[in-house]
Every structure is written in structure tokens, then in C-alpha cells.
């Protein structure tokens, strides 16, 4: 049933308020992902990015499957495997490689090209023509994070940079395909999150064992770091993320991932002393503005910037 355009007498919620609330809930996912870089470099044992991905994804996925008590069937067997590889397996591996080889803010900001990837894929797979409003802010977001990266007095590692950009690409593919396929009848966000986290963890498991082996003995610090990434950075965040993708415009959702480098940069400054130069501060503000502006529907944006015509009697 359509939502009323205004609150009713019973105190109903307007579409704008509902959209803002849903956007805020969805945004908690990339905000939590922004902590990955600090947790990885400061809490986890070094040299085990694939193992870290397995520990983050697989337990969370199995818990969600146990709670929802539903397994994929039919076409959703291969869809869950593909989506789990894109959204979880390949993404986690690439993010951890980037996190181990780059400063936190740099690693996170490389994903800023992801909204532009989503714009292109949404046109090819969903038939959504790129709106100049969001395309322009996508370029502004890239420019903003470019200022954060290129103006900073930080070192770069080519493999880490490539891993960060590739992570943006696979995540864009996962976002668009998740929107294209939706969910099977009766399945909620927790169900599909459980399927994909489990599939992604299982894809990573043999690679982790083959290339890295088992991690060293874990101290309480490492256990706490893995617990945070698995519970907050996977189980809770991906339920919120898939819930938002199912209800919000896919390109607008993709801009929310720019919050991840914002959080990583703030945490780097607070805990690691990675101070911002003035140009990085400009880039920070520009990228954050792009996130907010991209949430405004293009039609609403045109109405806001249009100069009202003067009417008789005014």
C-alpha cells in the first residue's frame, strides 16, 4: 500500500522520514566497515588476510543460517555462491590485503570509485540511466578522496592500491546483482546475509589454508578484534546492508560506502596520529558532501535548484 505523502492523524511517518531512517540504518554497515583497517593493523596477527576473511565471514554466516533455519534452493544455490564471492569472499580478501599493505585511510578511500562502477553496471544490468546529478557527485566523491590520498604524506604500495580498487569493483558487481535478483519469496535480509556470508567464507577457506595455513596462537587482543569484525562488521552490518539495498535506489546506496573512508580517516587521526593536511580536510568535506547529496533523488534535486518563476501578484 502506498505510504501517505503526509503524516496522518494517527501520527504516521512521512516517506521522507522513513527514507532517512532507512538510509541511516543502511549507513551503519559502511561505518562499521571503516573500522576494519584500524582493527586489522592494530589487533590482528599480521600476514593472514585470507584467514582473517574466513574468521570474519563464516561464523557470522553459520549463526544467521541457524537463526533463520533456511537454506538456498534452486537458482539461489549458484546465485548465493556468486553473490557471496563478490560481496564477501573476494571483497574481504582484497580489503584485508589493502589493509595490511596501506595506511588505513588510504586503503579505505580507494573504494571511492565504487559508486561510479555501480552507475555503469546499473545502466547495463538494471537499465537505470545514469542521472547527471548522481554522476556528478560520484566524480566529486572521487575528487574528494583523491585529495585525501594524493595530498597526504603517506606511503603507497602498488599491490595494496590494486587490491583496494579491485575491492571497489567486486563490491559494485555484488551490489547491482543483489538489487537485480532481489530475494526469494519469504526470505528476509538476515536469510540472504547468512547465505552469502557462509558462501563467501567457504570460498575463502581452501585458499586461506593453502596459502597461509592456520593463524598463530591468538591473544585476547586478537580474539577481541576478530569478534568485532565478525559480529559487528559482518553479522549485523550485512543484514542492515542487504535490507537497505532491497528498499533504496542502488546508486544512492553505493554512495554510502564513502562513509567507510571517512570513519577510517577519523580513527587513523585519533588513534594512529595520521593527521590531515588542509587539502585532505577539503577532500574529506567534499567526499562527505557527495554522500549526502547523492541521497537526494534527481527529480527532487532539480526542483531544489530550479529558480522559481515569478507569478502575478507577488
pLDDT at 215 over 60: yes
More confident residue, 19 or 57: 57
Length of the chain: 314
Least confident of 66-80, 123-137, 230-244: 123-137
* Digit-coded pLDDT (tens) for 115-137: 888 888 888 888 887 778 777 87
Q: Which of 168, 170, 149, 45 is nearest to 103 (CA)?
A: 149
Query: What was the pLDDT predicted at 105?
Result: 59
Q: What residues contact residue 103 under an 8 Å CB cut-off, 6+ apart? A: 154, 155, 268, 272, 274
* Digit-coded pLDDT (tens) for 161-190: 888 889 889 989 999 999 999 999 999 999
Domain map (residue ranges) of the chain: 16-297
In order, the DSSP letters of 278-314 are HHHHHHHHHHHHHHHHHTS-HHHHHHHHSPPPP-TT-
Which residue is listed with cell 540472504?
Answer: 192
pTM of the model: 0.81
Q: How far apart are CA 46 and CA 41, in angstroms?
A: 8
pLDDT at 96 over 50: yes
* Digit-coded pLDDT (tens) for 182-212: 999 999 999 999 999 999 999 999 999 998 9
More confident residue, 303 or 290: 290
Query: What was the pLDDT predicted at 7?
Result: 45
> Mean pLDDT of all residues in the chain?
82
Query: What was the pLDDT predicted at 109?
Result: 65
pLDDT at 76 over 80: yes
b/e code 255-265 from CB counts within 10 Å (16+ = b): bbbbbbbbbbb
pLDDT at 257 over 70: yes
Query: What was the pLDDT predicted at 84?
Result: 95
Q: How far apart are CA 128 and CA 251, in angstroms?
A: 9
* Digit-coded pLDDT (tens) for 135-151: 787 788 777 777 766 55
Amino acid at each position: 500500500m502506498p505510504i501517505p505523502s503526509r503524516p496522518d492523524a494517527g501520527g504516521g511517518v512521512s516517506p521522507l522520514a522513513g527514507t532517512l531512517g532507512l538510509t541511516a540504518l543502511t549507513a551503519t554497515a559502511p561505518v562499521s566497515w571503516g573500522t576494519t583497517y584500524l582493527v586489522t593493523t592494530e589487533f590482528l596477527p599480521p600476514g593472514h588476510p585470507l584467514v582473517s576473511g574466513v574468521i570474519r565471514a563464516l561464523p557470522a554466516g553459520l549463526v544467521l543460517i541457524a537463526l533463520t533455519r533456511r537454506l538456498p534452493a534452486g537458482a539461489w544455490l549458484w546465485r548465493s555462491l556468486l553473490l557471496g564471492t563478490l560481496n564477501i569472499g573476494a571483497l574481504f580478501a582484497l580489503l584485508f590485503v589493502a589493509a595490511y599493505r596501506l595506511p588505513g585511510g588510504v586503503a579505505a578511500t580507494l573504494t571511492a570509485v565504487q559508486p561510479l562502477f555501480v552507475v555503469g553496471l546499473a545502466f547495463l544490468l538494471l537499465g537505470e540511466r545514469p542521472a547527471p546529478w548522481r554522476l556528478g557527485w560520484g566524480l566529486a566523491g572521487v575528487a574528494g578522496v583523491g585529495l585525501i590520498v594524493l595530498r597526504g604524506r603517506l606511503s603507497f604500495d602498488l599491490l595494496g592500491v590494486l587490491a583496494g580498487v579491485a575491492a571497489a569493483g567486486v563490491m559494485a558487481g555484488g551490489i547491482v546483482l543483489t538489487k537485480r535478483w532481489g530475494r526469494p519469496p519469504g526470505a528476509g535480509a538476515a536469510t540472504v546475509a547468512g547465505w552469502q556470508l557462509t558462501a563467501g567464507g567457504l570460498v575463502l577457506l581452501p585458499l586461506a589454508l593453502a596459502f597461509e595455513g592456520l593463524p598463530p596462537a591468538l591473544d585476547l587482543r586478537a580474539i577481541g578484534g576478530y569478534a568485532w569484525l565478525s559480529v559487528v562488521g559482518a553479522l549485523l552490518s550485512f543484514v542492515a546492508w542487504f535490507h537497505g539495498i532491497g528498499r533504496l535506489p542502488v546508486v544512492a546506496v553505493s554512495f554510502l560506502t564513502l562513509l567507510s573512508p571517512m570513519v577510517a580517516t577519523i580513527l587513523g587521526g585519533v588513534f594512529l596520529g595520521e593527521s590531515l593536511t588542509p587539502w585532505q580536510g577539503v577532500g574529506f568535506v567534499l567526499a562527505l558532501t557527495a554522500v549526502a547529496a547523492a541521497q537526494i533523488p534527481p527529480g527532487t534535486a532539480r526542483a531544489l535548484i530550479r529558480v522559481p518563476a515569478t507569478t502575478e501578484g507577488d
